[in-house]
């Protein structure tokens, strides 16, 4: 392999042009996007770690080992960074909705696919900004944009629930309250996920889908076992249970 890298161009082939000290326009554009993305990710991690109000552009620059003016080259303000972190996370959920639209599956399975990707997005570095950022910290225009994106996702979930109730794949329910409960459970992952890194974001999302699917009330089989017990309460007091968790 090494010999190929150092060998001259094969006879008859045009030699590569001599390298210019300036990058081509499309390369500069791509370079800029990669760096802008790095700034947004660094901001997401800092906001997550210290909260929005306690994070300065200096902190973000320090994390990237660049100066504050370099950060300003890619974004105009901390507010804009928060906004872009939000959008980066939400875009993953929007992509999930687009993907399941093509699938010929019962609505519950399409909903579950969206919920898995939703959970992964919230467990990502953008999770904090997606769910804990306060709209008061953003300009009215940004705040309106975020509200619209949140509403789009909420209504997408409700629509899949309604379709599932119609096609018989989802238990009859109130689509609005069910959508709020599902999204709330998933959004909350951003509050605790760092404290429990033993599972990946995808594993957490899968575990949640299992919980959503089953519900608390025992299902056939489990019901037969439980409901026929003589005493409904078999509890033995274990004072140390709370401590053991």
Least Cα distance to 80 among 50, 52, 118, 109 occurs for 52
Nearer to its own copies, 65 or 195 (CB): 195
Question: Minimum distance between the CB of residue 33 and its own copies, rounded to whole angstroms?
Answer: 30
170 binds its own copies (CB under 8 A): yes
How many chain residues bind its own copies (CB under 8 A)? 75
* 157 in Cβ contact with 182 (< 8 Å): yes
197, with CB counted inside 10 A (0-12, 13-18, 19+), is exposed
Site for its own copies in 6-35 (CB under 8 A): none
Site for its own copies in 190-209 (CB under 8 A): 191-192, 204, 207-208
* Residues in contact with 135: Cβ distance below 8 Å, sequence separation at least 6, in sequence order: 143, 146, 147
Nearer to its own copies, 25 or 104 (CB): 104
* 158 in Cβ contact with 170 (< 8 Å): no
Would you state the structure tokens that stand for residue 66, as one six-digit string? 């660049």
SS3 157: helix
105 binds its own copies (CB under 8 A): yes
80 binds its own copies (CB under 8 A): no
CA 81, chain centre distance (Å): 17
79 binds its own copies (CB under 8 A): no
224-243 mask for its own copies (x: CB under 8 A)?
-xxx-x-xxxxx-----xxx
Q: Which of 139, 184, 194, 202 binds its own copies (CB under 8 A)?
A: 184
Site for its own copies in 31-70 (CB under 8 A): 50-51, 53-54
């Amino acid at each position: 392999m090494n010999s190929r890298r150092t060998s001259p161009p094969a006879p008859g082939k045009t030699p590569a042009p001599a390298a210019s000290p300036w990058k081509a326009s499309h390369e500069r554009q791509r370079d800029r996007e990669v760096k802008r993305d790095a700034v947004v990710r660094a901001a997401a991690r800092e906001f997550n770690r210290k909260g929005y109000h306690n994070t300065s552009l200096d902190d973000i620059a320090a994390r990237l080992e660049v100066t504050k003016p370099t950060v300003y080259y890619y974004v105009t303000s901390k507010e804009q960074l928060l906004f872009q972190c939000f959008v980066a996370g939400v875009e993953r959920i929007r992509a999930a909705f687009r993907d399941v639209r093509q699938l010929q599956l019962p609505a519950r399975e399409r909903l579950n696919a969206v919920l898995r990707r939703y959970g992964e997005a919230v467990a990502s570095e953008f999770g904090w900004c997606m769910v804990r950022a306060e709209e008061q910290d953003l300009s009215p225009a940004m705040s309106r944009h975020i509200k619209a994106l949140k509403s789009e996702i909420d209504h997408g979930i409700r629509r899949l629930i309604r379709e599932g109730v119609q096609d018989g794949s989802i238990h009859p329910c109130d689509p609005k309250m069910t959508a709020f409960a599902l999204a709330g459970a998933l959004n909350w992952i951003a509050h605790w996920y760092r404290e429990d890194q033993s599972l990946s974001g995808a594993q957490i999302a899968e575990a949640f889908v299992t919980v959503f699917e089953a519900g608390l009330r025992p299902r056939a089989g489990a019901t037969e076992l439980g409901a026929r017990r003589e005493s409904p309460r078999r509890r033995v007091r274990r004072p140390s249970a709370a401590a053991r968790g």
